[in-house]
Amino acid sequence: MLALAALLTALIAGCSTGGTATPVAQPERDSGVSVTQDPGAGATDISPTAPVSVTASGGTLQDVALTSESGRAVQGALSPDRRSYTVTEPLGYGATYTWSGTAIGASGDSTPVEGAFTTVDPDSVTSVTTYIADGQEVGIAAPIILKFDAPVADKAAVEKALTVTTTPQTVGSWAWLPDDGGSRVHWRPRDYWTPGTAVHVAGNLYGVDYGDGAYGESDFTLDFTVGRSQIVKADATSHRMQVIRDGATIMDIPVSYGEGNEDRNVTRSGVHVVTEKHEDFLMSNPPYYENVRERWAVRISNNGEFIHANPATTGVQGSANVTNGCINLSLSDAEEYFGTAMYGDPVEVTGTRIDLSAADGDIYDWAIDWSTWQSLSALPGGTDTASAGAAGSSATGTGVTTGTAVPAALPTR
């Protein structure tokens, strides 16, 4: 009777649900060995990255395996004393896994290792894309941008799974910007990157509950480096533009900025970021012009602002602002600047009546003051510092380069 009661108790406890489950002991047999499974037999909605193990008390394990529905044995490791077996790879979504094996008691009698559990079956999985490619060299103002293919409800859960590691140590923070066809989160340093900084980004997103029935599709890693320091100084009142490389002025040229007689043609003041460059580019701004071919075009904002050649304004470059908002250069100057520009370079525009803002496109990160930026983190106080790499410390945090995040090993199915 007591044995029956113990069996019923174990079965009831084993039917727990949720992302994690309380370890449950199999009923003790006459062998004197007790087997405990985590999660317990019959558990459902288990996270595919939750710890999974089986332990023998009063005995050792033999021929233990956890098998998927397809019959594939999940990778795992038996402890040196053979008393516990731990799964060492992530599981699949919406799958049932079954234990097999034997626990041998001190007397030589055996107890079977048996039982099954089921992982959570998401309503949807959400993928992420990075705007910096793995191995890329970027300018000193380049933010780390993660773009999700759907809205993220539980932003704090996702942010906790993101890590930024830099050498040398860099102060920075994540910030969630308004959704744009899906959620997006940016990490930027408090000040411009130090040239030569090595950056490693890791997202342990597989198995993370994003909320509203969505889960992370896969883990990812991203490694990139920060190149030389190049800053464009663009004072619209001077009608000139300077290119400063590692503290030295390498170009000081006449230009023309937005005419500014209407809001639409005011070159925005603030720190822009180079995102694309094209030797030839067709520009349109209906109803004012359409499909006008321009040369040596460097995009600095998604609102349509470029630094580019325009022979039609060469006569007033250096003396008057007449453009539709772009920064016009001569053909030779534009070609020379084009050759120096890199994704992530800052372009500091001053002297106009409208500031760069969220209304102007995708990267307006440097238009946000530091305390406000930190407040856009989903975690209290934001993330203050990236951890240092081997020699330094991680935050728990031709054209635009868009790369799919590099996934970690695929989970067991």
Active site residue 278: no
Gap between the Cα atoms of 173 and 369, Å rounded: 12
Residue 347 forms beta bridges with which residues? 232, 272
Gap between the Cα atoms of 88 and 217, Å rounded: 19
Q: Give the position of tokens 């900025």.
A: 257
DSSP 8-state secondary structure symbol assigned to residue 46:
B
| Residue 145, number of CB atoms within 10 A of its CB | 19
Q: Give the position of tokens 């800052």.
A: 346
Q: What is the CA radius of gyration of the chain?
A: 29
User: What φ, ψ does residue 12 adopt, rounded to 5°?
Assistant: -65, -45
Per-residue tokens: 51:
């710890």
SS3 (DSSP) at 218? coil
Q: Are the beta carbons of 140 and 66 closer than 8 angstroms?
A: no
Residue 231 forms beta bridges with which residues? 244
Catalytic residue (choose from 186, 272, 278, 308): 308
Instruction: Provide the sign of the torsion angle of the four alpha carbons 189, 150, 51, 63, taken in this order.
Output: negative
Q: Are the beta carbons of 352 and 258 closer than 8 angstroms?
A: yes
| Residue 278, number of CB atoms within 10 A of its CB | 18
Q: How many residues does the chain have?
A: 413
Is the peptide bond preceding residue 151 cis, with omega within 30 degrees of 0?
no
CA 391 and chain centroid, separation:
23
Tally: H helices and E strands in the chain: 4, 32
Which element (helix H / strand E) includes 335? helix 331-340
Distances in whole angstroms, Cα of residue 278 to Cα of each of 113, 243, 289, 361, 372: 64, 19, 19, 19, 34
Give the residue numbers marked as catalytic.
Answer: 308, 326
